[in-house]
Each structure stands twice: as structure tokens, then as C-alpha cells.
């Protein structure tokens, strides 16, 4: 399997959606274990239709879905034989992961799985070696990381045996214990799978999240998958969520993908299994911009030519013989000036609108150097309706 950078949908979904607070509500809101677990076992998402999720992802230009098979609360969203704390023992009683895998197969959508190393319900789920997300463990006085690893191996075997081809495996919360056998097991069960770097040994790709900013605008030297959610406060469903702006998300997606990374954008379905109108509306704002880019963010090569663009931050890529200039923070004016260019363009297009842009090779007064006897003409691309697209990054396509 050859890795290409892709746009994907992250889905955080579990019984915590019933509370409408946060995917870690058990710990963050200090809910009594008995109360939370009783609520979880009554989980009944009667309107769950994974085909709708898959079609929403496709409509958004996404190529894969990463699903939270198990989050920190330990509740399993598949038919596991390792614990009774799973979806099969609820009033719903259906294997939600199996249903999603079938919908993905039907619509040619790649499926990835998220799996939490912390397990707040499992008897030996507490790992004192890890410095993160251990506060919710029910049994803090029981420590046996070997039993925990054996339990995880058995669950991973189920996940990677019973649900068809899996594109990537997303471990969450580094355990701070090295055990090469965990990733070896994953690879033996799913040859060609990609594994992230939050597990028990070094994986294939790194996973910056939320507001991470890479230094400069150079391409990533390692396979990378960035992620964020449409909601600022929670990854799981949150009633009355605070949503990121379209500009904030689109600028991040453009910058990461122009640098060669994949990008997972998360939604949190509600307790019924529905991606609510608010979540869908905010997702579709991003999707509208992404689809207008006509695939130029995926599988492009770095363009090392120094265009000497003035005033605006940009990343240059090449795809199918075309140059794409990604102005991931937008433009400061209605024009772009290139001090260097390989030849006169055959065409210049604004991807945001699909319209051809005007250009000329002229002297621009701002750049005239009176100390020089001969002035160089700049490639001047002008008449760009930047205000119309002020809430999204600008991408310009040039055919030389």
C-alpha cells in the first residue's frame, strides 16, 4: 500500500454522547463510576445509519474514516469477547463497527481505527508509567501492565481480524512503555497498515493535533496526519458546542496538506447516532472550500523553485505539471507579485472561484530599485477578489 496524503473524517462516538458534555466526561466532570457505567449500558442509538456518515464524508471530499472503537472510558463499540462493557450488551445490541465497515466497503471508503491505551473500566487499565489521561481509572490500586498488554493484544486481534481491511491504526495516549510486539501484532494481522506514533513502539506517522503549528512552511520529513475537530471544546458530541470558524479550519487544512500531511477533521454524532445539523453545517463550510480545490491538496510534489513572492506567506507545489501557490493565511491585497518565474504563464486560475486571472509582466513602482541601471519585470497577477474569499485560504494554479 502506498501512502498518499488524504482528507479524512474522524468520528468520536460512544455512550458519552448521551451526556452531551465531552468524550472524557466521566473523569472531567467527576461522574460516579456506577452512574456512568449504568448510563453507558443503556446506550441505544436508534437512528444510527453509518451509510449516512460515509456519504457525508464522501460529499466532503474525504477518502477515509477513522472511528473510535474504544475511548478512554473503556466502552467498546464492537462485539468484543474480552469484556461485557460493550455495545452488544446495551438495548441497541448491534455491532456498530461491523455496520460501519460494511457501509465503508459499499461506498469505497477506507476505514481506520482509533484505540485508546488507557482503559478506565478494565481491572488492570491503570498505567502509572504513562503521565497522561490516567486520572479516570477505576482501579488505581491494581497495576499489571503485562495483563493490560495481553488484554489489548486480544482486543486488537478482534479489531484487525473481523472488520476487513484497515487503512490506519490510531493508538491514543503514549503508554511510555516500549513493547515491540504490539505493533508487530498489528502488522501481522493487517500487512500494509499504517500505524501512528502514540503506541508501544515507533510507528509510521506522527499525529499533531488541535492548534499545533509546524515550524516554517517546509514539507514534513515524516509521514504525518494532523487532526482537529469542528468543535473547539470536545471531540465527542457536546450540546451547545463552540465551533471553530471556517477560516481557522481551512487555513490549517491547507497548510498541513500543502506540506504533505493528511488531515482528519472530527465530528461527534449525538446519542441517537446522528451528525446533528450544527455539526454538519460547520463541516460543510469546510467541505465547500475543499471541494473547490479540485484535488490539488492531495498527492502534490514540492515545488522548489524560488518565486520570490512578496508580502504573502505561501507554499508552492506541483501536481500534474501545474504549479499551485497556497496562500494559507489568505492575501493582503488583490494581487500577487512574483519576482522570479520560469516563463510566461499559459494560464493563471484562482481555484477558489475557478475563474481565470489577469496577469502581466511589468515594472511595479514598489519594487523599482533606483540603484540599478536595469529593472526586472515582475509577474503581476491581479484583480483577485480577495474580500469575497476572506474566510478561506487562497490557492492559485499556474500552467507555464
Quick one: 7-292 is in which CATH superfamily?
Glycosidases (3.20.20.80)
Q: Per DSSP, which regions of 137-219 are E strands?
A: 168-172, 194-195
Average pLDDT, the chain: 95
pLDDT in tens, 254-276: 999 999 999 999 999 999 999 99
Cell (9 digits) for 251? 487555513
Statement: the pTM of the whole predicted model exceeds 0.75: yes
pLDDT, residue 365, reads 67
Cell (9 digits) for 158? 478482534
Average pLDDT over residues 18-29: 98
pLDDT in tens, 301-358: 999 999 999 899 999 999 999 999 999 999 999 999 999 999 999 999 999 999 999 9
Q: Which fold has domain 301-399?
A: Immunoglobulin-like (2.60.40)
Within 8 A by CB and 6+ apart from 290, the residues are: 7, 60, 61, 250, 253, 297
pLDDT, residue 377, reads 87
The residue ranges of every structural domain in the chain are 7-292, 301-399
Q: Distance (Å, rounded) from C-alpha 135 to C-alpha 63?
A: 35
Q: Distance (Å, rounded) from C-alpha 45 to C-alpha 15?
A: 9
Amino acid at each position: 500500500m502506498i501512502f498518499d496524503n488524504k482528507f479524512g473524517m474522524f468520528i468520536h462516538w460512544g455512550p458519552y454522547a448521551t451526556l452531551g458534555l465531552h468524550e472524557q466526561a466521566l473523569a472531567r466532570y467527576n461522574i460516579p463510576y456506577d452512574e456512568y457505567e449504568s448510563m453507558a449500558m443503556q446506550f441505544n442509538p436508534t437512528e444510527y445509519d453509518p451509510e449516512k456518515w460515509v456519504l457525508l464524508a464522501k460529499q466532503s471530499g474525504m477518502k477515509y474514516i477513522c472511528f473510535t472503537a474504544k475511548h478512554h472510558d473503556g466502552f467498546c463499540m464492537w462485539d468484543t469477547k474480552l469484556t461485557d462493557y460493550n455495545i452488544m450488551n446495551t438495548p441497541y445490541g448491534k455491532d456498530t463497527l461491523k455496520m460501519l465497515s460494511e457501509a465503508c466497503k459499499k461506498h469505497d471508503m477506507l476505514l481506520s481505527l482509533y484505540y485508546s491505551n488507557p482503559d478506565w473500566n478494565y481491572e488492570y487499565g491503570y498505567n502509572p508509567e504513562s503521565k497522561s489521561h490516567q486520572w479516570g481509572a477505576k482501579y488505581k490500586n491494581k497495576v499489571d501492565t503485562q495483563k493490560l498488554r495481553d488484554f489489548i493484544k486480544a482486543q486488537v486481534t478482534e479489531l484487525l481480524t473481523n472488520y476487513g481491511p484497515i487503512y490506519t491504526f490510531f493508538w491514543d495516549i503514549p503508554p511510555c512503555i516500549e513493547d515491540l510486539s504490539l505493533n508487530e501484532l498489528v502488522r501481522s494481522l493487517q500487512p500494509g497498515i499504517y500505524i501512528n506514533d502514540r503506541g508501544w513502539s515507533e510507528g509510521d506517522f506522527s499525529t499533531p493535533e488541535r492548534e499545533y503549528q509546524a515550524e516554517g512552511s517546509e514539507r514534513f520529513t515524516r509521514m504525518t496526519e494532523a487532526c482537529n475537530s469542528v468543535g473547539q471544546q470536545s471531540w465527542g458530541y457536546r450540546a451547545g458546542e463552540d465551533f471553530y470558524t471556517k477560516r481557522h479550519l481551512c487555513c490549517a487544512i491547507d497548510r498541513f496538506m500543502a506540506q504533505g500531511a493528511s488531515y482528519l477533521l472530527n465530528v461527534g454524532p449525538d446519542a441517537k447516532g446522528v451528525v446533528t445539523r450544527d455539526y454538519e453545517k460547520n463541516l460543510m463550510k469546510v467541505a465547500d472550500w475543499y471541494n473547490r480545490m479540485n484535488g490539488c491538496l492531495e498527492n502534490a510534489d514540492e515545488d522548489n523553485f524560488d518565486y520570490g513572492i512578496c508580502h504573502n506567506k505561501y507554499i508552492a507545489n506541483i501536481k500534474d505539471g501545474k504549479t499551485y501557490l497556497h496562500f494559507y493565511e489568505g492575501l493582503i491585497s488583490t494581487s500577487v507579485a512574483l519576482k522570479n518565474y520560469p516563463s510566461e504563464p499559459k494560464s493563471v486560475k484562482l481555484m477558489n472561484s475557478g475563474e481565470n486571472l489577469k496577469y502581466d509582466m511589468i515594472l511595479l513602482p514598489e519594487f523599482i530599485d533606483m540603484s540599478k541601471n536595469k529593472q526586472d519585470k515582475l509577474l503581476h497577477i491581479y484583480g483577485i477578489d480577495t474580500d469575497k474569499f476572506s474566510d478561506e485560504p487562497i490557492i492559485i494554479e499556474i500552467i507555464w
